[in-house]
């Protein structure tokens, strides 16, 4: 089946998107580039391009911009200009109004958010996930797509788009950022550079979500690369909710142990223990193992005798999902009817 692609980004991000553009030009039957810089004309340009693609053909719309955990917008490279979830919903609804009209055919039109952390939850859970909110906002406008987003930092490399964990980006990168900022890149050792290269991974389990539809209802699926094929876990299942819990745990632990301004590494003894916990999860990507690690830390004297750290661990453990199911997507769609 012929496939087509469109990239929507800011002009100051063109260099970062060069790898995607090169591959998409070769891969797809047709590939177009559009820019947020075009202002109100963008929606007309998008609909013009979309309406000329046969509905039976697959279409993938890449949207590029800088994102963040629980942040309801993406920005240009200058970090000033932005597109909110509402802005994106209006743009896509206008552009896809004649195409994405059926839940059953949502997979035929994919919106792929090439933006860091757009699929990551905040501590509030899926209700605050930008990807889930955008998918729900489109549904209220009767525009039905599959929406794919990453839960980690995204970088473009020759091998394709790769992911970098919060630990690497928020903590391990501090030394390198400081040397670059001070014009001391020559002090970076071979080991430093080798370590940086080891951070990026192309297919890390549980780092990509797909918002789609099953049996006429919205669902959020979590990609599990380890099981091969196109295997996803329903976020509404116990396993899925535990994966989301693990993301929220890592959010809080990384925020808690990130060194204060001016420092480039974790030095506090308790924080080093928590850093190692995050490191183990990054390697294993096993929520149940993370729960067991935290439970062991809860009994560790260095942690238990420090009220603030012990309180954080107890809070995280208490949020661990037990058996059962949690419905959020339908409620989100109802809420969005009052937003637009």
Whether 218 is in a domain gets the answer: yes
Q: How far is CA 50 from the centre of its chain?
A: 25
pLDDT at 323: 75
pLDDT at 334: 53
Is residue 63 within 8 Å of 118, Cβ to Cβ?
no
Whether 159 is in a domain gets the answer: no
pLDDT at 329: 46
Those residues of the chain that have pLDDT short of 50 are 325-330, 332-333, 335-340
Same domain, 72 and 22: yes
Whether 295 is in a domain gets the answer: yes
Same domain, 123 and 175: no
* The pair of three-digit structure tokens given for residue 99, joined into one six-digit string: 């195409």
Separation of alpha carbons 168 and 175, rounded Å? 11
Same domain, 246 and 225: no
Separation of alpha carbons 117 and 112, rounded Å? 13
pLDDT at 340: 30
Look up the domain containing 273 and give its range. Answer: 240-318
Same domain, 64 and 104: yes
Same domain, 77 and 131: yes
Is residue 62 within 8 Å of 8, Cβ to Cβ?
yes
Same domain, 52 and 142: yes
Same domain, 53 and 115: yes
Q: How many domains does the chain have?
A: 3
Same domain, 37 and 118: yes
Same domain, 330 and 189: no
Same domain, 186 and 246: no
Q: Give, as one character, the DSSP assignment of residue 5.
A: E
Which residue(s) pair with 74 in the sheet?
A: 83
Same domain, 116 and 187: no
pLDDT at 261: 85
pLDDT at 249: 97
């Amino acid at each position: 089946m012929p496939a087509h692609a469109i990239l929507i980004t800011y002009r100051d991000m063109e260099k970062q998107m060069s790898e995607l553009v090169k591959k998409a030009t070769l891969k797809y039957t047709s590939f177009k580039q559009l820019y947020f810089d075009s202002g109100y004309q963008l929606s007309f340009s998008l609909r013009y391009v979309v309406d000329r693609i046969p509905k039976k053909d697959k279409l993938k719309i890449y949207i590029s911009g800088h994102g963040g955990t629980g942040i309801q917008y993406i920005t240009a490279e200058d970090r000033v200009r932005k597109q909110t979830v509402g802005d994106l919903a209006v743009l896509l609804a206008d552009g896809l109004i004649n195409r994405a009209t059926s839940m059953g055919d949502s997979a035929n039109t994919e919106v792929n958010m090439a933006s860091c952390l757009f699929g990551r939850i905040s501590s509030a859970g899926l209700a605050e996930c930008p990807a889930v909110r955008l998918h729900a906002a489109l549904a209220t406008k009767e525009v039905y797509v599959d929406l794919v987003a990453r839960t980690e930092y995204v970088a473009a490399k020759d091998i394709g788009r790769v992911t970098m964990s919060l630990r690497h980006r928020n903590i391990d990168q501090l030394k390198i950022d400081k040397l670059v900022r001070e014009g001391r890149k020559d002090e970076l050792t071979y080991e430093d550079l080798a370590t940086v290269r080891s951070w990026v991974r192309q297919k890390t389990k549980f780092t990509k979500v797909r918002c789609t539809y099953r049996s006429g209802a919205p669902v959020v699926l979590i990609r599990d690369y380890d099981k091969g094929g196109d295997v996803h876990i329903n976020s509404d299942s116990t396993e899925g909710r535990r994966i989301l819990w693990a993301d929220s745990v890592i959010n809080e632990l990384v925020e808690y142990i990130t060194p204060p301004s001016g420092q480039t590494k974790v030095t506090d003894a308790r924080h080093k223990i928590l850093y190692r916990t995050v490191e183990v999860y990054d390697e294993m990507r096993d929520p149940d193992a993370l729960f067991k690690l935290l439970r062991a830390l809860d009994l560790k004297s260095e942690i238990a005798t420090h009220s603030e750290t012990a309180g954080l661990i107890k809070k995280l453990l208490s949020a661990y999902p037990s058996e059962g199911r949690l419905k959020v997507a339908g409620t989100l769609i109802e809420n969005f009817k009052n937003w637009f």
